[in-house]
Structure formats: structure tokens, C-alpha cells
Amino acid sequence: MAADNVLIRFFNTVFNVIDTPAAYFREKIVLPNQKKYPWYHQKYRRVPNIDECYTHDIVCYTEANIQFKRDKLVDDEILYILRSRFEECAWYHGSDDMNLCDDIRKTYEDASTAWFMKYGDMGVTLNVKDAYMKQKHRMIWERRHGPVGSGMKEDYKKA
């Protein structure tokens, strides 16, 4: 019995020698300096869009461009996740029950259409000003002719 008592006290002493500095460091330094937000990624504040920047405001343009590229990365990841879900569903159900994957396919196709409307045909040098001009031109086209892909109205073909 006495040997058990000595052995238990020895292990408790070793444990306390190792654990006490680590617990103190965590409680006094790590926890008070830890940022308290429930996200696993860094949350950036939204900067002004390019249409809110003044003409020669380089800083605003640069911030808007960085925000645009960050948004593109997020949209790319969303599209990748949706595509992966559809491929997994199609692989699991095979060609017999493809109608079970129709909801996922429709969601993926809608997201890919929206992605292409925003980022498609922009080339390698992607920037916020070109994307803004593309959006402006698409909106003008839709005002004059209807949805993109429906063709021109007849009265505009004559002029």
C-alpha cells in the first residue's frame, strides 16, 4: 500500500510540474488574447464597390479590386462544392435514378450560369473595372433587347 501511495504521489507531482505552466500560459495569455468569433476563416470588412469610388481614387480602386478577387475565390469554391455534390449524387445513383439528382443539378446549373454571367469571358487579367463594365453592358442589352441569349429585337436590326 505504501508503495502505491508513493508512486501515485510521484506521478501527480510529475503531472503537476508539466501541466501547471501549460495551464497558466493558456489561462493568462492565450485565452485573453484570443479573438472571439465563431468562424473558421478570417472575416474581412466589406469595402466600397467600384461604383462608389471616385474617378482617380487609387486606394479605393485597389481595395475594390482585392474584394472582387476575394469574392471570386469564394464563388469558385461554392461552384466547386456544388459540382462535387452533383457528381457524387450521379456516381452514387448511376444512370438508373438520375432524376433523384435533378434538384442538385439545377442548383449547380443556376450557380454556374450566374458565375459565367459575372466572371465568364473576362480573360486572364481579371479586374473589378472590367467586371463592372461587363455588368453595365449586359444591363443595357437587357433593357433594349430582353434577356441575353434571346437575340436582338427587329427594330434594332434595321438601324
- The reported pLDDT for the residue numbered 32 is 87
Cβ neighbours, 10 Å, residue 79: 17
Phi/psi for 57 (5° steps) reads -90, 95
Rounded-to-integer distance, Cα 17 and Cα 80, Å: 49
- Looking at residue 111, its amino acid is A
Asked if residue 89 belongs to a domain, the reply is yes
C-alpha cell at 136: 453595365
Asked if residue 159 belongs to a domain, the reply is no
Domain of residue 121 covers 1-151
Asked if residue 31 belongs to a domain, the reply is yes
- Only one residue has cell 436590326, namely 157
> What is the pTM assigned to this prediction?
0.66
- Which residue, among 82, 83, 70, has the nearest Cα to 41 in the 3D structure? 70
Asked if residue 13 belongs to a domain, the reply is yes
The string of pLDDT tens digits covering residues 2-61 is 667 888 999 999 999 999 999 999 999 988 888 777 666 777 788 888 999 998 999 999
Asked if residue 44 belongs to a domain, the reply is yes
The string of pLDDT tens digits covering residues 97-151 is 778 889 999 999 999 999 998 998 888 889 999 999 999 999 998 888 888 777 7
119-134 burial code (b ≥16 CB/10 A, e <16): beeeeeeeebeebeeb
Asked if residue 158 belongs to a domain, the reply is no
Number of structural domains in the chain: 1
Asked if residue 57 belongs to a domain, the reply is yes
Rounded-to-integer distance, Cα 77 and Cα 41, Å: 14
